[in-house]
Structure 1
């Protein structure tokens, strides 16, 4: 009597059906993570580098390090 009330378990194509669900889920999660990385880390980092190098003077920085005695090959004057 009780076995007639329970539905039969699906035995065919169970792995394929579950795999399809998990593949689509993994695809969308990976796309979401890539978008979060791009807009949360990569783009702000690019903007920060561009802002830094917009008015960066390498010779001025070199002269400051040379005056501080950082380099052995360029003695301070």
Structure 2
């Protein structure tokens, strides 16, 4: 009983088609996971932060702390 000869003709093409298809599917899955796992959460965090953000209050706090050299605190 002898072993059958391996099919070598077209082997590279067959393997490449399989690996390109698997690579494409995995890359699309990674993009979707990144979009919904990172980007959407980050957008929601920024939206929540700026929903209650008071720019005047923040500016006055930094001015009182002496962060700005060209703006004096209001008490002086």
Give the TM-score normalised by the residue count of structure 1. 0.90
**Alpha-carbon RMSD:** 1.0
Answering whether residue 41 of structure 2 is matched by residue 64 of structure 1, we say no
Alignment of 1:1-77 (within 5 A): 5-77=2-74
Which runs of no fewer than 5 residues in structure 2 stay unpaired?
none
Give the TM-score normalised by the residue count of structure 2. 0.91
In the alignment of these two chains, the number of paired residues is: 74
More helix by share: 1
Q: Distance in 2 between matches of 1:27 and 1:7?
A: 33
Which runs of no fewer than 5 residues in structure 1 stay unpaired?
none
Q: Which runs of 4+ in 1 moved over 4 A?
A: none
